[in-house]
A and B are shown apart, each in its own frame.
Chain A
Amino acid sequence: MGLTLAEKILSNNLGSEVRPGDFAVFRTDLCLLQDGTGPLAVRQFRKIGFEKVFEPSAVVVFLDHAAPCPKSELANDHMLLREFARQTGCTLSDVGDGICHQVMSQYHTSPGDILIGADSHTVTGGALAAFSTGMGSTDLAVGMGLGKTWLRVPATIRVQCTGALQRGVYSKDLMLSIISQIGADGATYKALEFGGDTIESLTMASRLVLSNMAVEAGAKVGLIASDSLTEKYLEEHARTDQYKRIAPDDDASYESVLDIDSAALEPQVACPHTVDNVKPVGEVSGTRVHQVFIGSCTNGRLEDIAIAASIMREKTRHPDTRVIVTPASRRVYMEAVESGYVDTLLRAGALFMPPGCAACPGVHGGILGDGEVCLATTNRNFLGRMGNPKSHVYLSSPATAAASAVTGVITDPREVV
């Protein structure tokens, strides 16, 4: 019997074959900390008695969730992390550089890596065929100190996507549909593996959306085989030598296979307050929107900003709908400026936040008022997620978000593109 992507990466790391259910201690190739979970990880690291990280170039510390800081307590946490980075020699990605998962994908994560991150959306790295998964601060403290972590090998659900997405339908719609079919806990303790011709023809930006949201179905990882497109992405980020072809075996054994007819898909919206509460856009169109948020590690990439700009070109936002755009990284921001998308969106009445998480985790930069509705391109709509438990968050693609920004109500982007 052959191996799935997850089994293959873990077996390669260990140097011997592992199967679902096996427990083992693995080498960690990369560790990620961010400003919400990092301070605790650093304190646990010191409590264990570690002084050095196992490999400074393998540890990256991000100041992205509360960046720039809205409160002195958080500014002090930033000081702690900067000092830790300086002391251990690990890489610091400072305020304004971007969201951890985007920056990791651009400059650090490679096919075959085991990446552990003190952030649940670390699964994003699966789009680069890395076994990339979220954990808590103490796991990261140990990972940084020993270069090791324990894992139980997950069984794999293969998500087989066939056909081309229609005009106005994007990988976000595909993923929302997949999550609604699997359920918010349907893949708990398991690996998702995305494949099929739909996936092969998606851009890397679109693939990253799928892997990023794997955790919203409970999954440990959301993997995609590496291919020529992965190679091109690495090349564009000056990392040609880091390409490796990693694909599942033809006779890999899956716990189950979910077949998706991508061509039949319509734009989707996740409704409050769970990510699996998904409806076709037509069922919620007309819902009044007070804030549109285009950004996050899910949909804050150049491709997303370009779609929003194309929809809002020579239009203006609805006067009762504020529009916040947040590029996922400094590089994305610079490219969006060069391409004129920032100009287009500013003229349409959008405002820009610096690269980072901004409004997504409810810390600052776009907290909602009581009873207000936000249509966001992010990944979570839990009660209180965006800072106010009396508000309502809907999730959609950047196209649906931009179309709704113009009309002031949830709008099917196919009516405008």
Chain B
Amino acid sequence: MMRGKVWKFGDDVSTDLICPGRYYHLRSNLSELAKHALEDADPEFAANVEKGDFVVAGRNFGLGSSREHAPVIIKLAGAGAVLAESFARIFYRNCINVGLPAIECDTSKFEAGDEIDIDLAAGIIRDLTNGATVTFAPLEPAMQKILDDGGLVEHIKKHQGFSIA
């Protein structure tokens, strides 16, 4: 069970908004780069997000570049999961690989600042501020396994290769 506060974002938040190109030179300095996470979508986010808070967005979150730095710095900044109506493909895959839960669900009921809790295994999110309950479909078993192992690096180390079939 995870519990935290909602940081609300709109539709089409690109990886350029999450991890701007002007900080390209910080890509080998992830803790510095994380200070700019989501900067062009909400300049307040990185400095004020608390450990375990959630990034909650609309459609097509993470569209654009393949930069894995985008989910990595969201995670390093402290977010416990990303919730969106839908995700761009590469971003979604990267979330699983870096061990950041990405949950596809109806996010319209959650408002900025709401306190929510998420039961990943049961697929239930409860908004403790307004009482709303939202369900979501479990992950594909292959992806769940990678996530459970702690991301792709750990998965491969543990199984000495892929073990998802």
Given contacts A48-B153, A136-B66, A139-B93, contact A73 B21 (CB under 8 A): no
Interface residues on A, range: 35 or more
State which residues 72-110 of A face B: CB under 8 Å.
Answer: 73-74, 76-77, 80
When the two chains form their complex, are residues B20 and A389 in contact, meaning their CB atoms are under 8 A apart?
A: yes
When the two chains form their complex, are residues B66 and A134 in contact, meaning their CB atoms are under 8 A apart?
A: yes
A136 and B153 CA atoms in complex are apart in Å by 12
Q: Give which listed residue, A47, A185, A383, contacts B86 with CB less than 8 A.
A: A185
When the two chains form their complex, are residues B17 and A120 in contact, meaning their CB atoms are under 8 A apart?
A: no
Residues of B near A254 (CB, < 8 A) are none
Q: Produce 1/0 per residue, A179-193, CB < 8 A to B.
A: 000001100110000
Whole-angstrom distance from the CB of A137 to the nearest CB of chain B?
A: 5
Is B48 close to A, CB under 8 A?
no
Residues of A near B60 (CB, < 8 A) are 184-185, 188, 218
Q: Give which listed residue, B27, B86, B151, B164, contacts A150 with CB less than 8 A.
A: B164
Q: How many of B's residues come within 8 Å of A, CB to CB?
A: 44
Most buried by B among A148, A185, A367, A386: A185
Residues of A near B25 (CB, < 8 A) are 66, 70-71, 73-74
When the two chains form their complex, are residues B16 and A76 in contact, meaning their CB atoms are under 8 A apart?
A: no
When the two chains form their complex, are residues B40 and A148 in contact, meaning their CB atoms are under 8 A apart?
A: no
Is B88 close to A, CB under 8 A?
yes
Residues of B near A24 (CB, < 8 A) are 165
A184 and B61 CA atoms in complex are apart in Å by 11
When the two chains form their complex, are residues A188 and B66 in contact, meaning their CB atoms are under 8 A apart?
A: no
When the two chains form their complex, are residues B67 and A39 in contact, meaning their CB atoms are under 8 A apart?
A: no
Is A351 close to B, CB under 8 A?
no
Is A25 close to B, CB under 8 A?
yes
State which residues 131-156 of B face A: CB under 8 Å.
Answer: 140, 142, 151-153, 156
Residues of A near B165 (CB, < 8 A) are 23-25
Q: Give which listed residue, A37, A274, A384, contacts B20 with CB less than 8 A.
A: A384
Is A138 close to B, CB under 8 A?
yes
State which residues 20-39 of A face B: CB under 8 Å.
Answer: 23-25, 36-37, 39
Residues of A near B156 (CB, < 8 A) are 48, 142, 145-146
When the two chains form their complex, are residues B88 and A387 in contact, meaning their CB atoms are under 8 A apart?
A: no
Residues of A near B90 (CB, < 8 A) are 120, 134-136
Residues of B near A80 (CB, < 8 A) are 28
23 inter-chain pairs at a CB distance below 8 angstroms, sorted by A residue, are: A25-B165, A37-B67, A39-B28, A47-B153, A77-B28, A134-B66, A135-B66, A135-B93, A136-B67, A136-B98, A138-B68, A138-B94, A138-B152, A139-B93, A139-B94, A150-B142, A184-B60, A188-B86, A188-B88, A220-B89, A363-B24, A387-B21, A389-B40
Q: Which 9 pairs between the two chains have the least Cβ-Cβ distance?
A: A362-B21, A136-B68, A73-B25, A136-B94, A185-B60, A382-B14, A71-B25, A120-B66, A138-B97
Contacts A146-B156, A385-B16 known; 8 new A-B pairs at CB < 8 A:
A37-B66, A74-B25, A117-B66, A134-B66, A138-B151, A150-B142, A188-B87, A380-B64
